[in-house]
Structure 1
Amino acid sequence: MKNLLFGLIYLFSSSVLLGFQGSSVSDQLRLKLESENPQENILVAGKELQSGVDIHRFYADRNFQEVWSKDGILLEFAYEMRFEIKQSRFDGLNPEDYGLALIEAFFQSFEKNKEAKKANEPGDLANLELLLTDAFFELAEDLERGKVDPSQLKGDWDIDRKPQRANYSELFKKAISEKDIRRNLESLYPKFTIYKRGREVLRALDERLKTDTLDWKAVRVDKSIKVGDSNNAIPALRERLQYWDYLSKYQVNDPKLYDSTMYQGVMAFQKKNGMEPDGVIGKNTATGLNASPSILIDKAAVNLERLRWLPDTVQNLELIVVNIANFQLDYINKLDTLFSSKVIVGKLYHESPIFTAPMSYIVFSPYWNIPNSITRKEIIPAIRKNPNYLKQKNMEVITTSGKYVDPSSVNWSSKSFPYLIRQKPGGSNSLGLVKFMFPNSHSVYIHDTPARSLFEKEDRALSHGCIRLQNPAKFAEILLSGDGSWTPEKIDQAMHRDSEMIVNLPRKIPVVLLYLTFWADSKGQANFRQDIYNRDAEVLALLKK
């Protein structure tokens, strides 16, 4: 609002501020830009432009010739740029970040001049010229690299901000020569089909929001609601299932009764949103149904931003993707998903980090080298209570050089513990029978687990940070499929050895640990997931800042 007021104040006096009224737009641009320090932000109608250096260089290269108008009249090209600024909301960006209010004020002024058959002031045209050009540069950078710098986030997102690869001035020149803003800005999108599909979902949600009349007051479910139960929350939840087309409207005798018809709608909603489709309305189901169109628009915006952060290496033909928020691993080769599996990820206070690293080898029948933090907090206290703990858990004490240490020789009451504890290979090993290694600073990897029943849980944020895989034998078979000697039988034997067996992969495969609480699938259908680590709010606040 402050920028808009500045703009309206300066709108009709800008030609005086810039110089003589009779000069051309080109003269006004030269006067304005040559009087400004290229290293400082340019001030236009009370707004600081963010692309000062690029703007100086761009107009100097073209001898200060205007782009958006000709002979004092706005070109269709300018209207296209205004349209693209407005459309940036479908990228989850805020059009006001690109000076939309001021730009609209100038457009309205020029429309009034047209109706009154009055000439547009060169100073006003020059101001709009700079605002539109600055908007192009700013929007181009945000589309290519993201508005938010992920390295500054509080969460464990270990992916640096992408470097700028595109030359925005050259891209702008190309857009001018082709008279096509849309296609050239679109070239900066992440090279994932889910990005464009996500934009379309956001557009559809925006349309739905225009006609939304529901009361989206949060419904609280203190205990699970099952078919046949009566509950005050049922009418609102039924109405929301019908709103999102999971349930057709039907004759209801008792509005508070959770009936069998509504049960079908609940199961459809649960299945679509990554929940266990048991038809029981618990906390997760209620939370999902509390999400209004505006809440889902914000969630989509956050995740489109996350897609813009991903490095180019993610676009390889072969990669392994773990979406932590979806509790799922996918192996993708040549754009086809050849393997999918449920995974268990880090619990809230042992969050799985976000990063990329190449997988280079597999360890069959692995030792579990227990981290020092777990040794001190969990293992040693257990040994003090139960002297047979190590034997019962198939664990042993070793020196840092790997030599065996007799547990009876260790003073377990001492604060000093200069040793390591590891769990020997076997069915009770916490890593299971195989682990998949992509060396990284987080000491995180993908591995099997003896706790198979945990994969049946809906919320699988249960580990200390590593990724536990439901079907590791099949995954190993796929990764080693280039070597015909690795039959399922041989893999099974390797997984049941008394000692470790390390197998190097013939190529390094990028592993990407993602955190996406929204994406659109190959059919353009929206998928929303719970924000298990409460990370969306921080990104949303920075996007709206």
Structure 2
Amino acid sequence: MKKAKGYGFLMVIAVLGISLTSWFCDKKKDTAMVAKKKTETFVVSFDSSLVSTFYAKYPNLIVYKNQVVSLYEKNDFDFIWYDKKGRKETADVIYNKINNLYQEGVQAKLPYKETLDLLIQKNTSRPDVDTELFLSNYYFFYVNKTLQGIDSTKMKEVEWYLPRKKQSYVGYLDSLLVDPKLIDNNEQHIAQYYKLKTVLQKYREIEQKGGWDSIKVPTEFTKIKPGDSSEVVAKIRTRLFLTGDIAEDSGRQLYGYALQQAVLKYKKRNGFTLDKVILPKHINEMNVPVSERIKTLIVNMERCRWISTDIAKAKEFIVVNIPSYRLNYFKDGKVALTSNVVVGTTMNKTVVFSGMMSYIVFSPYWNVTPNIIKTEILPAMKKDKNYLANHNMEWNNGNVRQKPGPRNSLGLVKFLFPNTNNIYLHDTPSKSLFSSEKRAFSHGCIRVEKPKELAELILQGDPYWTPEKIDKAMHKNKEVWCTLKDKIPVYIGYFTAFVDDEGNINFYKDIYEKDQQLAAMLVEE
């Protein structure tokens, strides 16, 4: 009897064991099936034909089709913005950037934005082809507008011949997918871009608060001198307070010391002669609406997008900014020399381009261009048969040249960076022009106020070219060529807004009227 009971107990244990084993196996199987089911809900890739279907539905995005197709061909048409966990962080970063394009000074309208908004709100985890392709198109929209700028084919329209920076934005996305924070890297552009961006935010805040009122003056108004008192003075004080030129708006009508210093600061920022007298032209400049200043900032941020960050990496380089009539020579990352310059007239514009300075020519000839011979020299010779002799000129193989000497139009030295525009830097005997506020007087070449100092700095490392030998060569009345051991990049640019090292925004006259054309193109984009 005991034996039977023991046997029965063993049978129960055995049956129970089998049941438990079966239960655990079924449970494991169910878990595996659920896991498999979850895996199967994520489709790795999509049908490539759906790309054409997408652009048929959303034709306004077709401008990005080549870039998008290139992106997906590289990735075998796998989903880029999704993984098994759902939509990737980078997708949300791009979406956020698209929603804040104004911070980058981008004015172009985003096509089908409301459609994407609905898709983003609706779908957060499971991949959707339309959402996927929208994100890819908007990624290229974002990088093209904020990093690249307007299409390079339009550069001739805005007369910009500086080399554009080049980057693969297909490859750039690989980096963003690994680390989305790279999108906020402040090394995508030259430093000036980020300085202008900060000022843009400040001026938009001023605009949101109502901007500034136009300063009205009596019809008989001529000028305001230190010590004068009037309602106009109080209005000027308020105006300069808004842009930070004066720390306090006391409301005083007296043109005293504090306001005089603010006026000097304002004049320096706007390219005026530094004196304390306030003229109608100064008030007219103060009356430029904040909306126009914002437009100017946006236009110049766009120009910054076109410039490679590699420029600042050069050991030495020269930058000429046409609207500010200023040359800066950079050496070892610092400004070694700043000089006023004279640039081309509106009829003979100085070209925006770059070259490599290869030669310095002391006591140079001036080889007169065929156009100047035709339009100026020949008509003058008809009126005065001694015109060439009186101007120290001579015929040379069918052309006219001016002999070396203090009366030479190129002065005592010229700096050559060979180019098809026949533009170079040079000295001038007309020194008085450098004191003018507007300095667009040349035939296109750039006259330098400090040519001797520039030559000495460039040749500083050459033991042969001492300051004494440079001076002697400049006054030799015989042309002397110096070939530079290391060529120096020269960049001739056009910026009507520029933030200086102290963080002050400088506005310059748009002497060649380029801003309005570019502003219109940015809106159309």
TM-score by length of 2: 0.81
Compared with structure 1, are the counterparts of its residues 63 and 382 closer, same or farther at alpha carbon in structure 2 (3 Å cutoff)? closer
Q: Which stretch has the larger CA shift, 278-287 or 515-524?
A: 278-287
Structure showing greater Rg:
2
Compared with structure 1, are the counterparts of its residues 368 and 53 closer, same or farther at alpha carbon in structure 2 (3 Å cutoff)? closer
Q: Given residue 362 of structure 2, which amino acid in structure 1 is its aligned partner?
A: F
Compared with structure 1, are the counterparts of its residues 301 and 483 closer, same or farther at alpha carbon in structure 2 (3 Å cutoff)? same
Q: 2:94 aligned with 1:81, yes or no?
A: yes
CA distance in 1, matches of 2:448, 2:267: 22
Using the TM superposition, give the Cα deviation of residue 458 of structure 1 relative to its aligned residue in structure 2, in angstroms: 1.0
Compared with structure 1, are the counterparts of its residues 259 and 266 closer, same or farther at alpha carbon in structure 2 (3 Å cutoff)? same
CA distance in 2, matches of 1:155, 1:250: 45
Q: 2:491 aligned with 1:512, yes or no?
A: yes
Which residue of structure 1 aligns with residue 300 of structure 2? 303
Which residue, 352, 365, 369 being the options, matches 2:367?
369
Q: Which stretch has the larger CA shift, 432-441 or 420-429?
A: 420-429
Which secondary structure state, in structure 1, belongs to the residue aligned with residue 282 of structure 2? helix
Q: 2:347 aligned with 1:344, yes or no?
A: no
Counterparts of 1:4-403 in structure 2, within 5 Å, are 26=43, 30=46, 33-37=48-52, 42-44=55-57, 47-59=60-72, 66-68=79-81, 76-94=89-107, 96-97=109-110, 100-107=113-120, 109-110=121-122, 125-149=128-152, 151-159=154-162, 161-162=164-165, 164-166=166-168, 168-178=169-179, 180=180, 182-184=181-183, 186=185, 189-190=188-189, 192-215=190-213, 225-227=223-225, 237-247=236-246, 248-253=248-253, 262-282=259-279, 285-311=282-308, 314-315=311-312, 316-400=314-398
Does the aligned pair in 1 maintain the 2:352–2:492 contact within 8 Å?
Answer: yes
Q: Given residue 104 of structure 1, which amino acid in structure 2 is its aligned partner?
A: D
Does the aligned pair in 1 maintain the 2:360–2:415 contact within 8 Å?
Answer: yes
Which residue of structure 1 aligns with residue 36 of structure 2? none
CA distance in 2, matches of 1:41, 1:466: 52
Does the aligned pair in 1 maintain the 2:211–2:290 contact within 8 Å?
Answer: no
Compared with structure 1, are the counterparts of its residues 539 and 26 closer, same or farther at alpha carbon in structure 2 (3 Å cutoff)? farther
Which residue of structure 1 aligns with residue 519 of structure 2? 540
Does the aligned pair in 2 maintain the 1:82–1:100 contact within 8 Å?
Answer: no
Which residue of structure 1 aligns with residue 438 of structure 2? 459
**Deviations, residues 492-542 of structure 1 (Å, cap 9, x unaligned):** 110111211111111111111011112223344322222111101111111
Which secondary structure state, in structure 2, belongs to the residue aligned with residue 277 of structure 1? coil
Which secondary structure state, in structure 1, belongs to the residue aligned with residue 486 of structure 2? strand
Does the aligned pair in 1 maintain the 2:188–2:309 contact within 8 Å?
Answer: no
CA distance in 1, matches of 2:142, 2:234: 44
**Deviations, residues 118-172 of structure 1 (Å, cap 9, x unaligned):** x87969x54333222211123223444322436544443223554x432x33322
| Structure 1 unmatched ranges of 5 or more | 1-22, 111-118, 401-419
CA distance in 2, matches of 1:325, 1:246: 22
Which secondary structure state, in structure 2, belongs to the residue aligned with residue 428 of structure 1? coil
Q: Given residue 99 of structure 2, which amino acid in structure 1 is its aligned partner?
A: K
CA distance in 1, matches of 2:375, 2:230: 44
Which residue of structure 1 aligns with residue 413 of structure 2? 434
Using the TM superposition, give the Cα deviation of residue 487 of structure 1 relative to its aligned residue in structure 2, in angstroms: 1.9
Which residue of structure 1 aligns with residue 460 of structure 2? 481
Compared with structure 1, are the counterparts of its residues 121 and 171 closer, same or farther at alpha carbon in structure 2 (3 Å cutoff)? closer
Does the aligned pair in 2 maintain the 1:85–1:98 contact within 8 Å?
Answer: no
CA distance in 1, matches of 2:419, 2:58: 50
CA distance in 2, matches of 1:483, 1:359: 16
**Deviations, residues 322-355 of structure 1 (Å, cap 9, x unaligned):** 1111111111122111111111111111110011
Using the TM superposition, give the Cα deviation of residue 222 of structure 1 relative to its aligned residue in structure 2, in angstroms: 9.7
CA distance in 2, matches of 1:536, 1:220: 32
Does the aligned pair in 2 maintain the 1:273–1:529 contact within 8 Å?
Answer: yes
Compared with structure 1, are the counterparts of its residues 250 and 236 closer, same or farther at alpha carbon in structure 2 (3 Å cutoff)? closer
Which residue, 493, 496, 501 being the options, matches 2:472?
493
**Deviations, residues 197-227 of structure 1 (Å, cap 9, x unaligned):** 2222223323333223434599999985232
CA distance in 2, matches of 1:155, 1:173: 33
CA distance in 2, matches of 1:70, 1:222: 73
Q: Given residue 116 of structure 2, which amino acid in structure 1 is its aligned partner?
A: I
Compared with structure 1, are the counterparts of its residues 285 and 43 closer, same or farther at alpha carbon in structure 2 (3 Å cutoff)? farther
CA distance in 2, matches of 1:222, 1:510: 51
Q: Given residue 63 of structure 2, which amino acid in structure 1 is its aligned partner?
A: Q
CA distance in 1, matches of 2:89, 2:221: 59
| Structure 2 unmatched ranges of 5 or more | 1-39
CA distance in 1, matches of 2:151, 2:80: 29
Using the TM superposition, give the Cα deviation of residue 99 of structure 1 relative to its aligned residue in structure 2, in angstroms: 5.2
Does the aligned pair in 1 maintain the 2:163–2:307 contact within 8 Å?
Answer: no
Q: Which stretch has the larger CA shift, 376-385 or 320-329?
A: 376-385
Q: Which stretch has the larger CA shift, 52-61 or 373-382?
A: 52-61
CA distance in 2, matches of 1:287, 1:482: 48
Q: Which stretch has the larger CA shift, 169-178 or 498-507?
A: 169-178
CA distance in 2, matches of 1:464, 1:218: 39
Compared with structure 1, are the counterparts of its residues 94 and 41 closer, same or farther at alpha carbon in structure 2 (3 Å cutoff)? farther
